[in-house]
Amino acid sequence: MSGNGKPVGVAVLGLGNVGSEVVRIIEDSADDLAARIGAPLVLRGIGVRRVAADRGVPIELLTDNIEELVSREDVDIVVELMGPVEPARKAILSALEHGKSVVTANKALLSISTGELAQAAETANVDLYFEAAVAGAIPVIRPLTQSLAGDTVQRVAGIVNGTTNYILSEMASTGADYAAALADASALGYAEADPTADVEGYDAAAKAAILASIAFHTRVTADDVYREGITHITPDDFESARALGCTIKLLAICERVKVDGGQQRVSARVYPALVPLSHPLAAVNGAFNAVVVEAEAAGRLMFYGQGAGGAPTASAVTGDLVMAARNRVLGSRGPRESKYAQLPVIPISLASTRYYVSMHVADEPGVLSSVAAEFAKREVSIAEVRQEGVVDQGGQRVGARVVVVTHRATDGALSETVAALEDLDVVQAVASVLRLEGTNP
């Protein structure tokens, strides 16, 4: 290990937007970083797929031999910013096996392999830091692992994907449909050429797995997280949301729940939900992210800021790099993985929340009573019902739309209710089913 002011050698893997910014910070802020760490940071090499003189850094720093770079004796810390899962996983494991501390922003890898990587770091007695894997520059991981280490976290909920938040914000403010809002996000560079990982909730689910693992001292993988995307959200849903004093956000929700007579379990889920305008998450618009943490003693804490982008993500990565370098200088290491609780993750059918159900129905007497009876049969209590006529372009009434808002119920009971509604002759279609989060009843 480094000590007595000896330089701390750093290898950066990947030279994209984030990697380039991390390299710039290491070079431009060398004196400040050395003062904060107690020793200078020295960039030993940069792992890339293509070694060329046009990469914006001295060509002698570049190498496509990742295995050789991460095993060099003069490298103390490896910063992995390549993605995706492979070859990043192989590179990180090799670095850890060679006794190097690792900093990564690879949420996809962490959401499926945290245990494997954490065990490798434990065996080598080195650090594994990943603040930038969730919500970019927003400090969430370190508060959960350190600031709240003496508290009991009950719930973590947030907007953790900037692309979907931009799309939903545009739909809310302009009345655009999903396709138009996605096209706008793509034109501005907020959406990838293939936006599936964002709009179908995969990105948010990976982050939810990481948050749940840390908050509840339990290994949770992306496969454990229930996931729904935003592609089915319509302007009609936003119109109904406004009438209810709400907006719609894609939320990642991780919480402790009690089932089977009080046994603690974990619920981890991602889906679009109605959020009251009075809730702090309702005001998070554009490509910004926010995470709300609810702890037993600390109460509600909110973390807000830019959740993506080269500079914000590089800020979080460099923060981890400084922490790992300090530990090297002092001959210590940071917090280890905490998985002592080992709480089972419940299926979505046992998760409980409120619901918004919109359906197209026949315009005739007795419809509301038939609909209400299906909710009552499954003990799903109705909080509010709205019915409005549907007219065609000529102004003729051609049917009706019914919106039901429930009190808290399990997802299983609600799903059974929706299936029964779809079988009713008076229900032409169940147009939309959304959760309602951020309320108590």
- What are 273-303's pLDDT values in tens digits? 999 999 999 999 999 999 999 999 999 999 9
Residue 289 and residue 146 in one domain: yes
Domain CATH number, residue 174? 3.30.360.10
H helix runs in 331-380, sequence order: 367-377
Contact 127, 323 (CB under 8 A): yes
* Whole-structure pTM value: 0.92
Contact 436, 411 (CB under 8 A): no
At 121-150, the pLDDT tens digits run 999 999 999 999 998 889 999 999 999 999
Q: Report yes or no on 38 lying in a domain.
A: yes
Residue 102 and residue 169 in one domain: no
Q: 214 — phi, psi (to 5°)?
A: -75, -45
Q: Of all residues in the chain, what percent carry a pLDDT higher than 90? A: 85
Residue bearing the bigger pLDDT, 392 or 38: 38
Residue 271 and residue 360 in one domain: no
Residue 230 and residue 288 in one domain: yes
Cα 159 to Cα 290: distance, rounded to the nearest angstrom? 5
Which pLDDT belongs to residue 319? 96
Does 266 have pLDDT greater than 60? yes
* Number of separate domains in the chain: 3
Residue 155 and residue 264 in one domain: yes
Which pLDDT belongs to residue 137? 83
Nearest Cα to Cα of residue 7 among 31, 36, 38, 28 = 38
Which pLDDT belongs to residue 281? 96
Domain closes at, from 266, 300, 330: 330
Q: Report yes or no on 337 lying in a domain.
A: no
Q: Report yes or no on 167 lying in a domain.
A: yes
Cα 417 to Cα 412: distance, rounded to the nearest angstrom? 9
Q: Is 224 exposed, middle or buried (0-12, 13-18, 19+ CB in 10 A)?
A: buried
Q: Report yes or no on 160 lying in a domain.
A: yes
Which residues make up each annotated binding site? 13-20, 107, 192
Sheet holding 8-13, edge to edge: 62-63, 41-47, 8-13, 77-80, 101-104, 128-129
Nearest Cα to Cα of residue 322 among 131, 150, 145, 144 = 131
Residue 153 and residue 176 in one domain: yes
Q: Report yes or no on 12 lying in a domain.
A: yes
Specify whether the backbone of 300 is left (phi greater than 0), alpha (psi in -120 to 50) or beta. beta
Is 207 a catalytic site residue?
yes
At 102-117, the pLDDT tens digits run 999 999 999 999 889 9
Cα 236 to Cα 242: distance, rounded to the nearest angstrom? 10
Residue 223 and residue 123 in one domain: no
Please state, in angstroms and as integers, the Cα–Cα distance from residue 374 to each residue in 60, 189, 369, 418, following that order. Answer: 71, 45, 9, 9
Does 175 have pLDDT greater than 90? yes
Which residues make up each annotated binding site for L-homoserine? 192
Residue 182 and residue 302 in one domain: yes
Domain closes at, from 330, 364, 386: 330
Both structure tokens of 253: 């929700």
Which pLDDT belongs to residue 1? 44
Residue 196 and residue 296 in one domain: yes
Q: How high does pLDDT run on average in the chain?
A: 93
Residue 37 and residue 71 in one domain: yes
Domain that holds residue 220: 140-308
Q: Report yes or no on 321 lying in a domain.
A: yes
Both structure tokens of 83: 């993605």
* Partner residues linked to 200 by β-bridges: none
Q: Report yes or no on 94 lying in a domain.
A: yes
Split at pLDDT 50, 70, 90, the class of 309 is confident
Q: How far is Cα of residue 207 from the mean position of the Cα atoms in its chain?
A: 4
Which pLDDT belongs to residue 2? 47
Provide the CB-side half-sphere exposure for 3 (13 A, CA).
4
* Partner residues linked to 108 by β-bridges: none
Domain closes at, from 276, 308, 340: 308
Q: 378 — phi, psi (to 5°)?
A: -110, 15
The pLDDT of 45-61, averaged and rounded, is 92
Specify whether the backbone of 331 is left (phi greater than 0), alpha (psi in -120 to 50) or beta. left
Residue 300 and residue 178 in one domain: yes
At 403-424, the pLDDT tens digits run 999 999 999 999 999 999 999 9
- DSSP helix/strand/coil, 32: helix
Q: Report yes or no on 1 lying in a domain.
A: no
Residue tagged active-site, from 6, 90, 100, 207: 207
Q: 109 — phi, psi (to 5°)?
A: -70, -45
Cα 110 to Cα 209: distance, rounded to the nearest angstrom? 9
H helix runs in 175-284, sequence order: 178-187, 196-199, 202-215, 235-243
Residue 269 and residue 365 in one domain: no
Domain CATH number, residue 364? 3.30.70.260
Domain CATH number, residue 67? 3.40.50.720
Which pLDDT belongs to residue 391? 59
Nearest Cα to Cα of residue 238 among 337, 358, 383 = 358
Which pLDDT belongs to residue 160? 96
The pLDDT of 356-378, averaged and rounded, is 94
Q: Where are the beta strands (DSSP E) in 14-152?
A: 41-47, 62-63, 77-80, 101-104, 128-129
At 180-228, the pLDDT tens digits run 999 999 999 888 899 999 999 999 999 999 999 999 999 999 999 999 9
